[in-house]
Structure 1
Amino acid sequence: MGHRPTEAAVDAWIALMRAQQTALLKIERAFRDANLPSHAWYDVLWELERAGEAGLRPLEIERQILIAQSNISRLIDRLEEKGYVERRPCEDDGRGQRVVITSAGRDMRKRMWPVYGKAITDAVGKHLSEREALSIAALLTKLTDRGR
């Protein structure tokens, strides 16, 4: 009995997946049209900027980012090659590393934000009232670890 989803749960799942894919495609297209890196780059740079000088361990980045990223280490490699992040030894674990955003990384994230902000407005904000957006955010937060 508990393993079979309700029709409403299935409908919600389908709508959630379609909305996510539609919005992400619009956002990726906006970045591409502006000759900017992908949403994954923005997402990692944003999380690292929020973390400050302490940076984050690669596993922490993987847990924080908004999109599925199966190979975070390759993404970090590409960001490091461009000079947007740097790896530092982890003080409490000699084998571990922390990833820290550089000033070039902060500049790139700031360059990306206007494109991203407009894409969010086009994909979501134009279709929902402020109240609807807040309601959806509250409901979806229930589905994440942060909502528990």
Structure 2
Amino acid sequence: MPLDVRWLDPDEQRAWRAWLDAHAHLSARLNRELQATSGLSLSDYDVLVHLTDVPDGRLRAFELARGLEWEKSRVSRQVARMAERGLVERAASPEDGRGAYVAITAAGRQAIENAAPAHVELVRQLVFDGLTTAQVRTLATVALSVLSRLDDAT
């Protein structure tokens, strides 16, 4: 083991564990509630959000993977499951015929439109209702700072 390890001090350790635990518990709760209220998994919802964020509702599979920070195989499996349920469809790329697009279907758009109000309300209840305006700004600052360091590292 290297001798120059910069171990986390007690405050850093507490903050790190709290961040990990909050993320895990929040993701699990959001997934359970989405399943119960809409039949969508959190992964379904994430894919649909990425597709509704672009004007034509379609992304190349590699763009979707990059946006979700998922491996190609995970995207492929998730899209296959969603296509079976009619939420998305795969289409060959008209530009080169090799790449595939993932496109939201009318059923997928309806599913996210139906799921979004309850999902947003739950996010508000679990996260934002318990924070002051200053804490929300701080949360955004911290998250954006971490994201910036992650982007710089790639």
Same-fold call, TM cutoff 0.5: yes
Give 2:104's aligned residue: 101
Letter of the 1:136 counterpart: L
Check conservation: 2:38, 2:111, Cα contact below 8 A: no
Can you give the 5+ residue segments of structure 2 that lack an aligned partner in the other structure? none
**Structure 1 residues 84, 32: closer, same or farther in 2, change over 3 A?**
closer
Query: Are 2:35 and 1:28 aligned?
Result: no
Separation of aligned partners in 1, 2:19 and 2:81: 30
Give 1:121's aligned residue: 124
Deviation at 1:100, TM superposition (A): 1.1
Q: How many residues get paired?
A: 147
Larger radius of gyration: 2
Q: 2:8 aligns with which of 1, 6, 9?
A: 6
Q: Deviations over 1:99-143 (max 9, x none)?
A: 111121111001110121122012201211232112112211111
Separation of aligned partners in 1, 2:59 and 2:7: 37
Separation of aligned partners in 2, 1:140 and 1:2: 27
Check conservation: 1:57, 1:97, Cα contact below 8 A: yes
Separation of aligned partners in 1, 2:133 and 2:20: 22
Which structure has more relative contact order (CA 8 Å, sep 6+)? It is 1
Q: TM-score, normalised by structure 2?
A: 0.81
Equivalent positions of 1:85-96 (< 5 A) are 85-96=88-99
Q: Deviations over 1:41-96 (max 9, x none)?
A: 01100100112326212222122227x67611111011111211111222343211
